[in-house]
Chains A and B, each alone.
Chain A
Amino acid sequence: MIYDFLNDLTGSPFIAGTITALLPLFAFILPFALFAVLLERKVAGHMQDRLGPMRVGYHGILQTVADIIKLIQKEDIIARNNDKLLFNIAPVLTFAGSYAAFAAIPFSSVFLGANIDLGIFYIIAVTGLVVAGILMAGWASNNKYSLLGAMRSAAQIISYEIPTILVVLSIVMLTGTMSLYDLSESQTSYFWNWYLLGGPEFEIQKFLLIPFMLIGFLIIYISTLAEVNRTPFDIPEAESELVSGYHTEYSGMKFAMFFLAEYANMFAVSAIVVALFLGGYQSPFGYLGNLLNINWLIPLEQFFWFTFKGIFFVFVQMWLRWTLPRLRVDQLMAASWKYLIPIAFFNLLIIGIISIL
């Protein structure tokens, strides 16, 4: 997509590759993180009967910029007994995991880093790197709280990947493709074609599918919530128990890397949910570009719709965070193994039966 275009333009695969690789970082992740951190603080503030940041810029819109400047200036502390190598690699690895996922996320029919045939598979695999980063951080910190946080996190992410994959599998089984681009394209531009509402094919099975699709959607949303360690599943960084879990010992830019990874991850999992169930980048009401016959408008509209849906789900994550208490670690495991996984299995089975009807 972008790579092919740039390759034609510059004639150099290297330049094209570099630009394509950096594009999501500078065009999306950094601005999104800036926006999302502020959004989180504003959402939290207003939900808690206060204003949130107000001092830097109009209504505090420059607060995150100020925070980043502060973090850059901070001393990079490495304690004497830390495992220096792992301690330094961990934040990079964690960030790399969530960053790499952006390569396969289809922002619009044009803005797509790489149209991999195994798109969804790739994303799930590559976000697994995050676990390794977290475990490394917990181990290298040489701090008992960090270690407990990292252990919990590894257990949690691995358990919740299973229901996620089972739900993804049901969609893949239905459509016969793992490419997020094809998935998005097939849910053409009206909301009744979304997989949440049974998919694009108008047959009797579409209506049979709707309730099971809703169940699948709920399962994948809950389990992705757990995968990015958000409330009510924020046990790895449970502030009141483990101080801040695996990143207790980090300061300055390394801490910022974890932070950035968390916000990038929040969007990445929302993007998966959107691409699978909510039409991906497709507009729910048709395109203005088609109406006015302006072709270049369509990708922009698609980009708008995709980020809009993604940010809406990020907002829901924040909403939950400031409403719900936190589960205990055994309750968390029980929720996954006793409820989500069996339900997801049956859901998969039923969707399979319906699809061969």
Chain B
Amino acid sequence: MSVRTEEMVLNMGPQHPSTHGVLRLELTLDGEIITKVVPHIGYLHRCFEKHCEVMSYPQVIPYTDRMDYLAAMGNELGYVIGVEKLLRIQVPERVEYIRVIMAELQRIASHLVAIGTYGADIGAFTPFLYCFRDRERILNLFEITCGARLLYNYIWVGGLSHDLHPDFVRLTKEFIKEFKPNLRELNNLLTYNKIFIDRTANVGILPLETAINFGVTGPMLRASGLKWDLRKDDTYSVYNKFDFDIPIGEGKMGTVGDSWDRYYVRVLEMEESLKIIEQAIETLPDGDVTSAIPKKIKPPVGHVYSRVENPRGELGYFIISDGSTSPFRVKVRAPSFVNLQIMDELCRGHLVADVIAILGSVDIVLGEVDR
């Protein structure tokens, strides 16, 4: 005799402590086993792309900040590179170096949030605060540079809003020196914790083929074993001048492409970012950061696709210019949005507790998913 069990539908979110914002996951459960996950998005939709059509090119920059609000520098960089391509202008060397430093600091800050909240999702609350302590110092660096801590409007078309603060180089070196032991401490506390490994290794395995088919990018793709990083493979700004590695998932604790790999790739990427920052600071050229800023931004008719490696993956801007002062269309390829699709594929057959572990390892920012 077969016993029929009834499936239960559980709404996770939008008000739930670990959906990382206002995401609603509709879980279909058989007991505690997941049979289906449907993500419902749109709670944070702010019409970014439509707004762009009525704003002048520089006015869009603060709006890009508000997409992936944990990696605002990266968003600005991608947009600005696109507009500069349309305008066909060259920016001074110093500007490029500072942009790279900022983007990499931002990557560390963003990964710290990803790792910290991931720990909190798994139940370890202390690493979360350790991560935020270090992130705070990066935010302080941003604050002395441009006055803002989260949404900067710092990288402008053709230049930067401010030059570096005289103390910036010294403070950044201090930060790097103190951050390295903190990272080791984090590894001891969380990364190599037996319970943490049990919870994340072999959970939510993402095979490389599936990852490519779904268009997954960023640390998630690299964790599945492909060395694909736009900073190297489609280089932009001055990334080709620095020496750094691209960490990939090796299945050290389980299978290649499991949640632990996705987590660990982020930890390793922070170390690589530190390398880039160190090199950039050592070789920082002199110059004027505002000299190349055009008086009037009116690109010729045409279109451009610019993409950068944001902490969460490939962030692309497709900008169409009709020759006026505001873009005709700005389409954003948001990495979180694309990566989120994989949830159903990853979660099926796992337990409710694993949904949290998987969602945390996908690392989405709802501001970017909904735009």
Contact = CB atoms under 8 A, between A and B. Distances in A.
Contact of A144 (B8, B125, B126, B199): B8
B352 interface: yes
The 5 closest A-B pairs by CB, nearest first: A326-B123, A240-B18, A325-B124, A48-B129, A325-B122
Q: How large is the interface on B (under 10, 10 to 19, 20 to 34, 35 or more residues)?
A: 20 to 34
Contact of B129 (A50, A148, A231, A235): A50
Interface residues of A, number: 27
B130 interface: yes
A331 B198 contact: yes
Contacts of B120: 240
Contacts of B125: 44, 48, 322
Nearest to A330: B351
Contacts of B351: 328-330
B46 interface: no
A57 B198 CA distance: 43
Interface of B: 8, 10, 16-18, 32, 119-126, 129-130, 133, 189-190, 193, 195-196, 198-199, 351-356
A238 interface: yes
B78 to A, nearest CB: 32
Interface string A145-161: 10010000000000000
Contact of B123 (A44, A148, A238, A243): A238
Interface in A242-259: 243
Nearest to B190: A325
A290 B195 CA distance: 48
- From DSSP, what is the main secondary structure of chain B's interface residues? helix
A323 B188 CA distance: 11
Contacts of B126: 44, 47-48, 322-323
Contacts of A238: 123, 353
Given A239-B18, A322-B126, A325-B124, 5 more contacts: A44-B126, A47-B126, A148-B32, A238-B353, A329-B353
Contacts of B129: 48-50
Contacts of B189: 323
A165 to B, nearest CB: 25
Given A144-B8, A241-B353, A325 B123 contact: yes
B196 A241 contact: no
Contacts of A241: 18, 352-353, 355-356
B124 A323 contact: yes
Given A148-B32, A324-B195, A325-B193, A240 B17 contact: yes
Contacts of A329: 32, 351, 353
A227 interface: no
A328 B353 contact: yes
A243 B356 CA distance: 12
Which residue among A145, A243, A325 has the maximum number of chain B CB atoms within 10 Å of its CB? A325
Contacts of A47: 126
Interface in A34-74: 44, 47-50
Interface of A: 44, 47-50, 144-145, 148, 231-232, 234-235, 238-241, 243, 322-331
Contacts of A239: 17-18, 123
Contacts of A44: 125-126
A139 to B, nearest CB: 15
Contacts of A326: 122-124, 195, 199
5 contacts: A144-B10, A148-B32, A239-B17, A328-B353, A330-B351
A89 to B, nearest CB: 26
Contacts of B198: 327-328, 331
A336 B16 CA distance: 30
B199 A324 contact: no
Contacts of A235: 353
A240 B356 contact: yes
B133 A49 contact: yes
Nearest to A144: B10
Nearest to A323: B126
Contacts of B18: 239-241
B253 to A, nearest CB: 14
B26 to A, nearest CB: 12
A327 B32 contact: no
Contacts of B16: 243
Contacts of B352: 148, 241
B29 to A, nearest CB: 9
A327 B352 CA distance: 13
B82 to A, nearest CB: 38
Contact of B199 (A145, A322, A325): A325
Contacts of A240: 17-18, 120-123, 356
A234 B8 contact: no
